[in-house]
Amino acid sequence: MDVTITNIRKEFGQFPALYDLSLDIRSGELIALLGPSGSGKTTLLRLIAGLEQPTAGKIFFGEEDASAKSVQERHIGFVFQHYALFRHMTVAENIAFGLKVRPKANRPPAHEIRKRVSDLLDMVHLSGLEKRYPAQLSGGQRQRVALARAMAIEPTVLLLDEPFGALDAKVRKELRRWLKEFHDRTGHTTFFVTHDQEEALELADRVVVMSQGKVEQVGTADDVYDTPNSPFVFSFIGESSHVPVTVRDKTVLFQGEPIGTTENGQGPGELFFRPQDVVVTTDSHSLYGKVTACRRLAGTRIAEIDVANNGHEPYHLEIEVPLDAPVAVGADIRFRPTRWKLFGQ
């Protein structure tokens, strides 16, 4: 099911949570709504679900205007961060719920409901747990029951609100992998909200990076990582450092001195680069600072560098240095970015 969002606005009283947001999602995509708290991602998810009403704008499921429909009519599947399982019902009763509440005309017969429940439990690898109560399950198991429950009604769109947020790191990793497999198998259009960019980049077909109620960028993991289109996206996705520079005659100058890179354009801007896109050099056309710390990080080393700032608080940057060429703390160092992005006025 294609999902089209046009010019959505949502205000809570005076407070605007979403400004004029538009998105075009193709059927079967796994979309991550990524951003820090307050970015509006959960609000957007709830608007798609019908749990909130937009102040302005429309949401289309395929050709139909879903904004006119109640949450029951939209036929979506929603998985809450804290599972929201029905505590007084067994696992089987939870999953069967969506089918049991249908009006008689649409309700499948009891044996079919049982079979559907059983198939879904297989799909989420929880067979045999039909008679358990949510209180008797682990967090990861509960989340999978929540997913099976949402899937039971064969939703057009699947919506997950920080589905792994309440779980510990190891379980989170396992469930992430499992969710990807699940999506590949079932092919539903899926939105999930997360503030964990690693999760978003790993799982999503496309990532919607949001900040303060607006969409910063929409793209594949490669797009947002390699070609971020704003300072926010550059610094939110992956590690980054940045310094203010000026471009004159195609030369990039930091504090008046060339740093060995060239750019088109003129005038002041902010130069963003990633720690790994840096080369240590002895060339005088480079950035210059003092090493304040050097620590090992997995297969590489990170050097923290203070770059002088004319008597103000120095710029704190991080660069990767090769394992076989360590730098001493306190030593002076020269380095130059090999890949970067300049964000001007």
User: What residue ranges bind other proteins (CB under 8 A)?
Assistant: 49-51, 53, 65, 68-72, 75-78, 80, 82-88, 97-98, 101-102, 133-135, 149-150, 152-153, 166
Smallest distance from other proteins to CB 155, Å: 9
What pairs with residue 303 in β-bridges?
294, 319
What pairs with residue 118 in β-bridges?
none
Nearer Cβ to other proteins (102/177): 102
Nearer Cβ to other proteins (97/178): 97
Alpha-carbon gap, residue 215 to 202, rounded angstroms = 20
Nearer Cβ to other proteins (84/279): 84
Alpha-carbon gap, residue 182 to 145, rounded angstroms = 14
Nearer Cβ to other proteins (21/157): 157
Smallest distance from other proteins to CB 12, Å: 13
Structure tokens at 31: 């979309």
Smallest distance from other proteins to CB 202, Å: 26
**β-strands 332-337, 287-297 pairing:** antiparallel
Nearer Cβ to other proteins (101/293): 101
Smallest distance from other proteins to CB 163, Å: 13
Smallest distance from other proteins to CB 216, Å: 28
Nearer Cβ to other proteins (120/305): 120
Structure tokens at 6: 């046009």
**H or E stretch including 343?**
strand 341-344
Alpha-carbon gap, residue 177 to 172, rounded angstroms = 9
Nearer Cβ to other proteins (142/242): 142
Tokens 């608080």 found at: 313
Give the burial string for 86-106 (b: 16+ CB within 10 Å, else e). Answer: eeeebbbbbbbbbbeeeeeee
Smallest distance from other proteins to CB 71, Å: 5
Alpha-carbon gap, residue 128 to 244, rounded angstroms = 60
Number of H helices, E strands in the chain: 9, 20
Smallest CA-to-CA distance from 160 within 41, 279, 268, 69 is with 41
Alpha-carbon gap, residue 227 to 314, rounded angstroms = 28
Smallest distance from other proteins to CB 67, Å: 9
Smallest distance from other proteins to CB 146, Å: 8
Alpha-carbon gap, residue 196 to 194, rounded angstroms = 5
Nearer Cβ to other proteins (159/200): 159
